[in-house]
């Protein structure tokens, strides 16, 4: 019964379900296709990364004795779609069944569920076994709860994995050390950043190909320094554990001028495409704590991101799709300003973060949440356009992880499923957590006047605009108490300043 085992660009894991039970005569099928490379205009580095990692993975599988059929993007017969390529192969080879691990995006899963009527051979769609919890486990946990609180889910995941647990209790006596993880970087910062690799022949060929076919996509293609094999990704992670983990906790939320990475791991692109195993890296980090090489707040903070947030976000995606993608609780409709694509804006924080994104196809969580995301929420930018932007511009972006983070956490467009209150702030937060404001033409403290910081103006305007919805939210009590101190004239002036600014955006 020769099987065609389809491996997608974000399924580059030797232990993935669809590779289990491989027998001589089976073919592992991989294809670079126009449809997947363009369903959003992915950052050019994201395409280079995935095509190169796919080619390296195919080579490794072949070296381990497996039969691989790999279709390159510029193969003259390439039909441009996954289904087209699978059909083309089946038409001229003996295949009795197709084996696939479920894709990470709803659109493709729905497509593949319809493939059954397109083929004469059976299709086995297997669950993705690279997560701690399957979709059903999350659904059973979620159903009947009034609110989905990540912290409670995270505790379940700690118990399930045994990470940082002793006698069924959390090590250190607390589940969460987040309060210790909010320090700005005031002293001198010296850190070389993530491990960077030289390109090899395979990557150079891919760079040339991608530059030729995707010149109109966002971002810079070079310098290209991502790991493209499992072995390289593992070394990059070990480099993080040795050089950054110790400070990861304290400075998790810090931002700095011209510093894209601070002490972050910069490995989400590797985990999400299968080059790194999430549990293995958490165990490595846990070991660093047991060896005395990193403090508990850093280690717990890192593990929480992976087994807590990452799993929670995926759970929400599959629980709430497909209508989740259409939610727009705050009726945000303003077109995305062009500076999201160019980084040309005199708001220095935005220009920096969008600049990092353009250069590296990466930026860290607080840059995404409290700069680009915060601005999008404050300015009421069109939810679909913002989500599409995040899906396109980051090398780690697939809809299962991008959408709840953007639509839910950053934009509050799901009405409070992912976040219990909107993550919005005035310029004061950005000023506390970074040195961006020192380099900006605006005055972060001013909410009215020619040089007023747009984040500060828009923050107060947002509270006024959404007073009915948020003033009774317990977690918003403090800002609304502060707002009460403003007189009517001041409120009118804020509204006018915000209106003028927003009118000027388009
Ligand atoms: P670190 O800060 O070093 O964290 C370690 C790991 O924890 C990450 O590699 C990642 O795998 C995981 N992690 C941390 N936070 C989250 C989270 N909220 N959701 C899921 N995993 C998390 N992450 C993606 O992987 N893909 C996305 O498309 C994506 N889009 C985002 C959009 C917005 C608006 C926001 C606010 C966050 C988004 N995130 C996304 C989450 C987070 O910003 C990135 O995972 C992180 O910045 C990756 O950098 P890092 O590897 O240096 O992470
Ligand atoms: C993101 C991506 C890109 C750019 N190209 C391909 C490709 O050519 N072939 C492929 O199999 N997968 C690619 N991917 C990853 C898919 O888009 C991803 O598997 C789905 O979005 C499901 O998560
Ligand atoms: Fe950003 Fe305002 Fe600070 Fe300028 S002053 S960097 S716009 S927060």
Same domain for 382 and 500, yes or no, is yes
Same domain for 343 and 254, yes or no, is no
The verdict on residue 235 lying in a domain is no
Same domain for 151 and 120, yes or no, is no
Per-residue pLDDT, 183? 86
- From CA 38, how far away is CA 91, in angstroms rounded? 26
H or E element at residue 123: strand 123-126
- For residue 324, how far is its CA from the centre of ligand 2 (angstroms)? 21
The verdict on residue 109 lying in a domain is yes
User: Closest by alpha carbon to 394, among 302, 297, 260?
Assistant: 260
The verdict on residue 332 lying in a domain is no
Is any ligand 2 atom within 6 A of the Cβ of residue 8?
A: yes
Per-residue pLDDT, 189? 82
Same domain for 162 and 44, yes or no, is no
Which residue, 81, 99, 126, sits at the end of a domain?
A: 126
CA atoms within 13 A on the CB side of 444: 18
Same domain for 479 and 462, yes or no, is yes
Distant-in-sequence, close-in-space partners of 135: CB < 8 Å, separation ≥ 6 = 127, 315, 318, 319
Same domain for 258 and 148, yes or no, is yes
The verdict on residue 68 lying in a domain is yes
The verdict on residue 404 lying in a domain is yes
- Whose CA is closest to atom 5 on ligand 3? 444
- SS3 state at 414: coil
**Residue 487 near residue 450, CB atoms below 8 Å:** no
- What CATH number did the domain enclosing 115 receive? 3.40.50.620
Phi and psi of 97, rounded to 5°?
-160, 160
Q: Domain range for residue 257?
A: 135-193+244-320
Which residue, 99, 126, 153, sits at the end of a domain?
A: 126
Which residue, 78, 100, 126, sits at the end of a domain?
A: 126
Answer whether 0.75 is exceeded by the pTM: yes
Same domain for 312 and 422, yes or no, is no
- Whose CA is closest to atom 4 on ligand 2? 37
Same domain for 490 and 424, yes or no, is yes
- For residue 433, how far is its CA from the centre of ligand 3 (angstroms)? 12
Atom of ligand 3 nearest to the CA of 348: 6
Is any ligand 1 atom within 6 A of the Cβ of residue 133?
A: no
Ligand found nearest the CA of 353: 3
Report the alpha-carbon angle 406-316-230, nearest 5: 75
- For residue 318, how far is its CA from the centre of ligand 2 (angstroms)? 18
Ligand found nearest the CA of 257: 3
Same domain for 122 and 37, yes or no, is yes
- From CA 115, how far away is CA 113, in angstroms rounded? 6
Total domain count for the chain? 3
Per-residue pLDDT, 187? 67
Is any ligand 2 atom within 6 A of the Cβ of residue 37?
A: yes
Same domain for 104 and 144, yes or no, is no
Per-residue pLDDT, 316? 98
Report the alpha-carbon angle 209-211-213, nearest 5: 70
- For residue 408, how far is its CA from the centre of ligand 3 (angstroms)? 24
**Residue 101 near residue 126, CB atoms below 8 Å:** yes
- Whose CA is closest to atom 52 on ligand 1? 266
H or E element at residue 458: helix 454-465
Per-residue pLDDT tens listing for the chain (506 residues): 799 999 999 999 999 999 999 999 999 999 999 999 999 999 999 999 999 999 999 999 999 999 999 999 999 999 999 999 999 999 999 999 999 999 999 999 999 999 999 999 999 999 999 999 999 999 999 999 999 999 999 999 999 999 999 999 999 999 999 887 778 886 678 777 899 999 999 999 999 999 999 999 999 999 999 999 999 999 999 999 999 999 998 899 999 999 999 999 999 999 999 999 999 999 999 999 999 999 999 999 999 999 999 999 999 999 999 999 999 999 999 999 999 999 999 999 999 999 999 999 999 999 999 999 999 999 999 999 999 999 999 999 999 999 999 999 999 999 999 999 999 999 999 999 999 999 999 999 999 999 999 999 999 999 999 999 999 999 999 999 999 999 999 999 999 999 999 999 97
The verdict on residue 202 lying in a domain is no
The verdict on residue 452 lying in a domain is yes
Report the alpha-carbon angle 176-179-182, nearest 5: 125
Atom of ligand 3 nearest to the CA of 426: 8
**Residue 368 near residue 253, CB atoms below 8 Å:** no
The number of residues making up the chain comes to 506
Same domain for 87 and 173, yes or no, is no
């Amino acid at each position: 019964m020769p099987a065609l085992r389809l491996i997608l660009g974000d399924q580059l894991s030797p232990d993935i379900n669809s590779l289990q039970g491989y027998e001589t005569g089976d073919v592992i099928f991989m294809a670079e296709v126009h449809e997947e490379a363009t369903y959003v205009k992915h950052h050019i580095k994201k395409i280079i990364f995935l095509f190169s990692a796919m080619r390296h993975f195919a080579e490794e599988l072949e070296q381990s004795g497996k039969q691989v059929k790999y279709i390159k993007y510029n193969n003259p017969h390439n039909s441009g779609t996954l289904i087209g390529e699978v059909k083309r192969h089946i038409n001229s080879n003996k295949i009795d069944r197709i084996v696939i691990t479920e894709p990470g995006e709803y659109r493709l899963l729905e497509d593949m569920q319809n493939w059954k009527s397109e083929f004469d051979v059976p299709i086995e769609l297997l669950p993705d076994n690279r997560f701690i919890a399957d979709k059903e486990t999350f659904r059973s946990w979620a159903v009947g709860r009034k609110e989905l609180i990540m912290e409670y889910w995270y505790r379940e995941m700690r118990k399930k994995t045994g990470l940082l647990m002793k006698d069924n209790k959390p090590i250190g006596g607390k589940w969460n050390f987040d309060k210790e993880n909010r320090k700005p970087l005031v002293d001198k910062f010296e850190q070389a950043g993530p491990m960077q690799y030289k390109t090899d022949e395979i990557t150079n060929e891919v760079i040339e190909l991608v530059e030729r076919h995707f010149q109109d996509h966002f971002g810079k293609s070079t310098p290209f320094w991502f790991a493209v094999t499992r072995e390289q990704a593992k070394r990059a992670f070990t480099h993080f554990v040795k050089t950054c983990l110790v400070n990861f906790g304290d400075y998790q939320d810090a931002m700095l001028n011209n510093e894209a990475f601070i002490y972050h791991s910069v490995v989400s692109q590797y985990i999400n495409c299968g080059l790194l195993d999430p549990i293995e890296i958490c165990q490595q980090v846990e070991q660093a704590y047991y060896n005395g090489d990193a403090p508990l707040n850093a280690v717990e903070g890192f593990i929480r991101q992976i087994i807590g947030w990452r799993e929670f976000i995926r759970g929400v995606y599959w629980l709430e799709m497909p209508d989740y993608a259409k939610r727009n609780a705050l009726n945000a409709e303003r077109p995305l300003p062009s500076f999201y694509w160019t980084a040309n804006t005199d708001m220095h924080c935005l220009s920096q973060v969008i600049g990092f994104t353009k250069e590296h196809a990466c930026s860290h969580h607080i840059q995404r949440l409290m700069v680009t995301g915060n601005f999008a929420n404050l300015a009421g930018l069109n939810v679909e356009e913002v989500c599409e932007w995040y899906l396109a511009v980051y090398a780690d972006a697939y809809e299962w992880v991008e959408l709840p983070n953007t639509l839910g956490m950053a934009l509050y467009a799901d009405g409070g499923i992912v976040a219990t209150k909107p993550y919005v702030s005035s310029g004061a937060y950005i000023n506390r957590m970074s040195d961006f404001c020192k380099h900006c033409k605006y005055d972060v403290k001013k909410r009215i006047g020619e040089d007023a910081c747009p984040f500060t103006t828009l923050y107060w305007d947002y509270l006024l605009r959404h007073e009915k919805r948020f003033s009774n939210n317990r977690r918003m009590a403090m800002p609304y108490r502060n707002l009460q101190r403003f007189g009517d004239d001041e409120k009118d002036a804020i509204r006018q300043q915000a209106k003028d600014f927003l009118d000027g955006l388009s």
